[in-house]
Amino acid sequence: MAVGLAPYFAVAQMIIKLIAGGRELSFYLTWCGVAAAGFVLKAVCMNVSTTFSHRATFAVISEVRFRLTSKLTRVPLGYLLDTPSGRLKTTIVERTDGLEAPLAHVLPEMTSNLLAPLGIIIYISTLDWRMALVSLLTIPIGLLCYMAMMKDYAEKYGAMTRAGKHMSATTVEYINGIEVIKAFNQSAASYAKFTDAVRKNVGFVLEWMRATQGYSAVMLSVWPAVLIGVLPLGCVFYMNGSLSAPDFITIMILSLGIMGPLIAAIFFTDDIAKIGVTVGDIGTILDTTDLQRPAEKKKLNGWEIELKNVTFAYRDEQILKGVNLKIEAGSVTALVGPSGGGKSTIAKLIAFLWDVDGGSITLGGADIRDIPTEQLTDSIAYVSQDNYLFDETVRNNIRMGKPGTADAEVEAVAKASGCHEFIMKLEHGYETIAGGAGGHLSGGERQRIAIARAMLKDAPVVILDEATSYTDPENEAVIQEAVAKLVAGKTLIVIAHRLSTVADSDKIVVVDQGRVADEGRRQELLARCDLYRSMWQAHMEAKDAV
């Protein structure tokens, strides 16, 4: 603060000396040196303070992002499905980035900008308390304008944030669905939805700016005009002899340094208000209930899985309605049934992607809610029909099943799972980049790599949730043989829409309308289960038609 005031004092002293007729060059050079030193020291101090504040800020932002992304690994899958990815991306990237300016600048700069005017006012008060009050005449007018600008700020900024999130979510949806949009000639409707979201966002911002522009113009015009009061009243006090010329000159010069820093400090309240909204968005994610798991490792007696009267609802729709099922360790169990019957939900509940609403699921005799997440993750390999590959090499996508695995072992698993041949035909073999979400590969290729990744994990329980749905008939037998070989001795749960691929399972479970309709071997079900028999006949007719 002191170095920031030095140039004002230097100018005042030189003007006073000039009026008094002083001609000593050394005097003016000395005060010029003081002014220059003040500017230099202020810049150095500001640089040092902002360096430290930026380091602290980026550490905070990094920690916030780490906690947010870590949180997403612990929340129920339903929360992630209900929340558009664009909205999460906006909070984790843009909103968290928005913390940089207020956090890095508010503390050092706002503090400095408040202390400097305070120091000037205190010093002016020691010279003439009347002039100290006069120098503050424009503050009430400016504050009234600022209060009008900030009216309902939190509500308006929150609405603008929601509009921005909606625009981001719509943009992500538009980009991700561009293939479907083009295929079904929905470009106009989808683009209209996208442009409508953009226009609403822009329109909201412009309307807000129009509502505050007048107040802003008055405030920025009146607030800095301290000399409107200082000059006329100072002249009156000087003429009646109650204010000396040197003090009058000093007060005029110093009063010019009050409003600039004060306005800058007050404008930081805008950033402080933004922090509140951003922290609220971040808190909404961090406050989401975790999938509850203990920290202490649980002793498991084998790999038998049992569902006891399991119920589960999603978006107020009851999906499972009291499922009872026992899956023997080392067996192959197939879940079949009409779409929407609850097969994939059962698989996701076993893989602890959701928590049951009622009943229980046990693994090795222990309720999975009592098993630590890491232990469950190591015990179960889950491959869904929507196989996500990262924008990494094919080799590294497979290696994610067991980080640190040697190249030779990765290639051995790829060969065993029937991936090696098509991988070697890719442009760069195992070093080919899979693309975002595996976009450079076909659906069948992505599935086979996902299966290889799961097999490399070598978990005792393997869940294949329609994991071969995109496999073409000529490769289906190869993959089925590879899966049979690689899951030998493991507890395998398979969900398949092609009944012939699971015909030889140890047990076939027919799931319909959230319940287990029947279970047994294929021949047993054909003999007694009408639903399975009709599904089998429909499947065979479709197969013959092909």
Say if CB 470 and CB 446 are below 8 A apart.
yes
Chain segment 445-502, per-residue pLDDT in tens:
777 788 888 888 888 888 888 766 556 555 566 666 666 666 777 888 988 777 877 8
Residue 163 structure tokens: 């509009």
| Whole-number Å distance between alpha carbons of 466 and 383 | 8
Q: pLDDT means per 10 residues in the chain (546 residues)?
A: 68 77 81 82 78 82 85 75 72 78 72 76 84 82 75 69 72 63 53 73 74 73 77 86 83 78 72 72 80 80 90 85 90 88 88 86 89 85 76 86 86 82 85 73 77 84 74 61 69 83 85 90 89 85 60
DSSP states of 25-38: HHHHHHHHHHHHHH
Buried b or exposed e, range 186-215, using 16+ CB within 10 angstroms: eeeebeeebeebeeebeebeeebeeebeeb
Pair of tokens at residue 100: 């940089």
Domains of the chain by start residue, with CATH? 2-286 (1.20.1560.10), 305-545 (3.40.50.300)
Q: What is the pLDDT of residue 254?
A: 79
DSSP state of 311: E
CA distance 441 to 424: 13
165: which residues sit within 8 A by CB, 6+ positions away? 86, 87, 90, 91
Q: At what angle do helices 407-416 and 443-457 cross, to 10 degrees?
A: 120
What is the spatial distance between Cα 68 and Cα 283, in angstroms, rounded to a whole number? 9
The Cα 14–Cα 187 span in angstroms is: 71
| 315 contacts: CB under 8 Å, gap ≥ 6 | 78, 82
Tokens of 33: 């040196």
pLDDT at res. 184: 46
Strand partners for 312: 320
Which pLDDT does position 326 carry in this prediction?
92
**Phi, psi (degrees; rounded to nearest 5) at 379:** -90, -20
461: three-class secondary structure by DSSP = strand
| CB-neighbour burial class of residue 509 (10 A; exposed 0-12, middle 13-18, buried 19+) | buried
> Token match 């010279």: residue?
127
DSSP 302: S
pLDDT, position 325: 92
Nearest CA among 53, 55, 83 for reference residue 68: 83
Alpha carbon of 31 to those of 28, 117, 121, 248: distances in Å?
A: 5, 21, 22, 19
Crossing angle for the helix pair 259-286 and 153-176, nearest 10 degrees? 50
- pLDDT value of position 306: 92
How many angstroms separate the CA atoms of 526 and 197, rounded?
53
Q: pTM above the 0.75 mark?
A: no
- Expressed in angstroms, the distance from the first to the final Cα of the chain is 84
CA distance 58 to 81: 30
Burial of 81 (0-12, 13-18, 19+ CB in 10 A): exposed
Q: Which two tokens stand for residue 314?
A: 């999603």
